Amino acid sequence: MLELKNISFNVDSEGQDKEIIRDVSLVIPDDKMIVITGPNGGGKSTLARLIAGIEKPSSGKILLDGEDITDLSITDRAKKGIGFAFQQPVKFKGIQVLDLIRLAKGEKISVAEACDYLGAVGLCARDYIDREVNGSLSGGELKRIEIATVLAKASRLSVFDEPEAGIDLWSFQNLIQVFQGMREKINGSSILIISHQERILNIADEIIVVQNGELIASGSKEEVLPGLMGTTAAVPECTMSGNPVIRK
C-alpha cells in the first residue's frame, strides 16, 4: 500500500514560488487499479512523478507499506517495487527489445520467456524481439514494449503517466485490452494510471480527481464517474468547477 500524507510541491517560476501540488493526502491500496484524472495542467502527471521519485515533494511524506520513502531516488524506489512508464517512452539506440526486457527482469531470461511478455501486450514476438528500441518503432509499439518491461519487472506498484498520449486509435484499443488483462491478474500489487480517457476510467476500481493541484474527489468508479461524465446520477462533490473530463 502506498500512502501520500499532506504532499505539496512548489517550483521556482520567474523568481516566485509557484505551488503545483497542494496538501494532497491519498492511499493507493493493494489489488486495485486506480486512475487519477482531472483537467489538463491540474497536477496529475506531477503527482505521478512525485510517487515515482522523479520529483521530490516540498513538504509531506510518502510511505510504502508504512516505510518512509520520501527521500529515496527513482532507482531506490524501483528496487522497492515502484515501476514507472513515461508519457513518452524512452528510446534506447543500440539496445534490442530482448535486452531491455532482460534488464527489466534483472536476470538473463530465455528468449521464450521474453517473448511471453511481448505476447502479453499483444505484440508478435518474432517481429520485435530482435528490434532496436529506437525511432523505427511507432508510438504504440514503444508504449506496449514499455508495458512489457513493467510486466517483466513485476512491480508492486506500476505507474503509467497518460499511456494514451501520442498513439493512434488502433493502438489505444489494444492498450485498453492490455490494461484489462493486467487488472485481471493483479495479485498483491496495484496499478496507477494517469488519464482522462473515458475507456480507461471505465476499467478502474477507484478514481481520484485532481484539479489545480488539489484532490477534489475520490472513490469507487460507480461513485465518481457519473459526476465526471455529467449524467443525471452525478454526485455534486465529484464535479470539477465547470471543467469536466472530456470524452475523446
> What would the mean pLDDT of 188-194 be, rounded to a whole number?
91
Specify the DSSP class assigned to residue 247: P
The tens digit of pLDDT for each residue in 38-75 reads 998 899 999 999 999 999 999 999 999 999 999 999 99
Cell numbers at residue 209, please?
A: 480527481
pLDDT at 228: 85
Is the predicted pLDDT of residue 238 greater than 90, yes or no? no
Helical (H) or strand (E) element with 125:
helix 125-128
pTM for this structure? 0.81
pLDDT at 94: 83
Cell numbers at residue 2, please?
A: 502506498
Is the predicted pLDDT of residue 185 greater than 90, yes or no? no
Q: Averaging pLDDT over each range in 20-29, 119-128, 184-193, 219-228, which range is the top one?
A: 20-29
pLDDT at 248: 34
Question: Residue ranges of the domains in the chain?
Answer: 2-87+155-238
166 neighbors 194 (Cβ within 8 angstroms):
no
pLDDT at 230: 67
Choose among 171, 176, 197: nearest CA to 36. Answer: 197
pLDDT at 8: 97
Euclidean distance between CA atoms 128 and 148, whole angstroms: 12
Amino acid at 240: M
pLDDT at 245: 37
The β-bridge relationship of strands 67-68 and 157-161 is unpaired
Which has more pLDDT, 188 or 217?
217
Q: What is the mean pLDDT of the chain?
A: 85
Is the predicted pLDDT of residue 159 greater than 70, yes or no? yes
Looking at 11-25, 141-155, 229-243, which range is the least confident one? 229-243
For the domain covering 2-87+155-238, report its CATH number.
3.40.50.300
